């Protein structure tokens, strides 16, 4: 059985490779994550008062878009409405629980979409499906689903061309009919090129859903290779990931991953052809926490030194030892080499796992020459049929890229 060919929008989505997620809502003001209303059982009337203090005065969409751009993200996904039911866009009279009816008074989704386009980052919209505000979600589901479709129709018609819709929440009512066909038809009608995602949550990583969905999700879980043989349609894959332990702002969450871990996680996604969607959680007034911004700049710095392989590279069956692997792009092979040491005086080279020969297997091409993407240094190698051993030199003193990429030209 064959692997289906990816439709253009899905191939384009895979080529974007790396995106930035933004969780922002009323909950951001409390600094205890986006589930605080539910977890702390805050009565709805009390929770809704957060709308009276929602100013978003530091929500600077241009800044957010430029941070995504600097990180090397090709798309950004904003929570236009999260489970709390509050919208960052003008609901055009569906209700008044939106950013327009708060001291903020602005349409943050419009600012976000415009700012993203200005810097060349594709705007995507996260939208909740479960809703803790609208009582119809619990009591009159068909009516609620129409409200959901009307909401999504606003997003699909008022904000220009969007990259995609990212739904989340169907796992709340596992046994109900969410009338997904009708919801996705709204998107296909107005935004034929939009990617449709519906998060399957942490307990169903990579599960294939409705036929209109374009990508499977791996929430907080390293993606596994997809077996696409015999699938009716080529599906992309995406892993969404938090930098600390919360999506929405966690004011006292200091459990940040290291820059090295984030770079390795991005690589481990690309290893299996999956996109990596890394989250930020702005503070209550919309500011991007310094730590989050810094980590994103770090990733961008790494991408700038390693070239396009991380976007364009595709799995090609070439594997190395431990974490090492290779991708193929534009008639070249890219070896992703982990844990190299810094060369030089032993007083300064204690870090890393050494340098020297690294072996890869499963090659289908003969290699002509190999160079590091970061400094152009040429590497010697010996190839024996489908096996190759590359003499991976260590980092020059002053650098350590965590994952170093060597570009191989084919003979």
Question: CA–CA distance from 102 to each of 51, 89, 150 (Å)?
Answer: 6, 12, 22
Both tokens of residue 268?
Answer: 């481990």
> Interface with ligand GLC includes 34 (CB under 6 A)?
yes
The secondary structure of residue 32, as a DSSP letter, is: B
- In the bound complex, what is the minimum distance in angstroms from residue 166's beta carbon to ligand GLC? 8
Q: How many CA atoms lie within 13 A of 274 on its CB side?
A: 29
> What is the SS3 assignment for 225?
coil
| Among 59, 167, 247, 334, contact with ligand GLC (rule: CB under 6 A) | 247
| Among 98, 168, 180, 339, contact with ligand GLC (rule: CB under 6 A) | 168
| Among 31, 201, 301, 362, contact with ligand GLC (rule: CB under 6 A) | 201
- In the bound complex, what is the minimum distance in angstroms from residue 344's beta carbon to ligand GLC? 43
Both tokens of residue 247?
Answer: 């999506």
Residue 201 or 315 having the CB closest to ligand GLC: 201
Can you tell me the distance from the alpha carbon of 168 to that of 84, in angstroms, rounded to the nearest whole number?
Answer: 12
> Interface with ligand GLC includes 238 (CB under 6 A)?
no
Task: Say which residues have a Cβ less than 8 Å from residue 275's Cβ, sequence separation at least 6.
Answer: 13, 14, 16, 17, 18, 19, 215, 236, 237, 238, 239, 269
Can you tell me the distance from the alpha carbon of 343 to that of 350, in angstroms, rounded to the nearest whole number?
Answer: 10
- In the bound complex, what is the minimum distance in angstroms from residue 293's beta carbon to ligand GLC? 20
- In the bound complex, what is the minimum distance in angstroms from residue 191's beta carbon to ligand GLC? 21
> Interface with ligand GLC includes 197 (CB under 6 A)?
no
Binding mask 84-123 for ligand GLC (x = CB under 6 A): ----------------------------------------
| Among 36, 240, 243, 296, contact with ligand GLC (rule: CB under 6 A) | 240
- In the bound complex, what is the minimum distance in angstroms from residue 406's beta carbon to ligand GLC? 34
Nearest Cα neighbor of 166 from 241, 35, 78 is: 78
- In the bound complex, what is the minimum distance in angstroms from residue 375's beta carbon to ligand GLC? 37
- In the bound complex, what is the minimum distance in angstroms from residue 117's beta carbon to ligand GLC? 24
Residue 296 or 402 having the CB closest to ligand GLC: 296
- In the bound complex, what is the minimum distance in angstroms from residue 111's beta carbon to ligand GLC? 21
Which strands make up the sheet holding 403-410, listed edge to edge? 378-379, 367-372, 403-410, 332-338, 325-329, 314-320, 356-361, 387-392, 381-384
DSSP-derived secondary structure for 58-99: T--HHHHHHHHHHHT-SEEEEEEE-TT--BSS--TTS-S-BG
Can you tell me the distance from the alpha carbon of 256 to that of 261, in angstroms, rounded to the nearest whole number?
Answer: 10
Footprint (CB under 6 A) of ligand GLC, residues 272-311:
none
Burial of residue 28 (number of CB atoms within 10 Å: 0-12, 13-18, 19+) = buried
Binding mask 13-32 for ligand GLC (x = CB under 6 A): ----------x---------
**Number of amino acids touching ligand GLC (CB under 6 A):** 9
| Among 29, 199, 292, 393, contact with ligand GLC (rule: CB under 6 A) | 199
> Which positions lie near ligand GLC, rule CB under 6 A?
23, 34-35, 168, 199, 201, 219, 240, 247
């Amino acid at each position: 059985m064959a692997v289906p060919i990816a439709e253009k929008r899905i191939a384009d989505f895979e080529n974007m490779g790396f995106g930035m997620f933004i969780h922002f809502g009323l909950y951001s003001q409390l600094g205890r994550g986006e589930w605080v209303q539910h977890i702390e059982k805050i009565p709805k009337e009390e929770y809704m008062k957060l709308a009276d203090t929602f100013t978003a005065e530091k929500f600077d969409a241009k800044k957010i878009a430029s941070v995504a751009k600097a990180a090397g993200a090709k798309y950004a996904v904003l929570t236009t409405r999260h489970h709390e039911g509050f919208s960052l866009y003008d609901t055009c009279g569906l209700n008044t629980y939106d950013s327009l009816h708060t001291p903020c008074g602005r349409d943050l989704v419009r600012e976000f979409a415009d700012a993203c386009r200005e810097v060349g980052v594709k705007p995507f919209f996260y939208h909740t499906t479960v809703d803790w505000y609208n009582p119809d979600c619990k009591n009159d589901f068909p009516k609620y689903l129409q409200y959901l479709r009307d909401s999504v129709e606003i997003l699909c018609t008022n904000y220009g061309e969007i990259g995609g819709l990212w739904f989340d929440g169907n796992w709340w009512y596992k046994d109900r009919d969410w009338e997904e066909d009708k919801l996705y038809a709204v998107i296909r009608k107005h935004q034929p090129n939009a990617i449709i995602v519906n998060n399957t949550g942490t307990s169903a990583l990579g599960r294939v859903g409705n036929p209109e969905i374009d990508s499977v999700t791996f929430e907080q879980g390293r993606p596994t290779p997809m077996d696409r043989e015999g699938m009716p349609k080529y599906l992309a894959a995406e892993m969404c990931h938090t930098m600390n332990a919360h999506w929405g702002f966690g004011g006292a969450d200091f459990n940040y991953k290291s820059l090295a871990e984030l770079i390795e996680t991005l690589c481990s996604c690309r290893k299996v052809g999956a996109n990596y969607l890394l989250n930020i959680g702005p503070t209550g007034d919309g500011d991007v926490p310094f730590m989050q911004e810094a980590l994103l700049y770090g990733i961008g710095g790494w991408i700038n030194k390693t070239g396009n392989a991380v976007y364009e590279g595709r799995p090609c069956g070439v594997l190395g030892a431990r974490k090492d692997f290779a991708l193929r792009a534009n008639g070249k092979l890219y070896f992703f080499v982990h844990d190299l040491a810094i060369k030089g005086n032993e007083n300064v080279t204690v870090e890393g796992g050494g340098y020297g020969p690294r072996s890869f297997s499963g090659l289908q091409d003969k290699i002509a020459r190999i160079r590091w993407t970061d400094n152009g240094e040429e590497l010697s190698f010996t190839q024996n049929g489908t096996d190759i051993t590359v003499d991976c030199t260590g980092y020059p003193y002053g650098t350590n890229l965590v994952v170093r990429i060597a570009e191989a030209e084919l003979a």
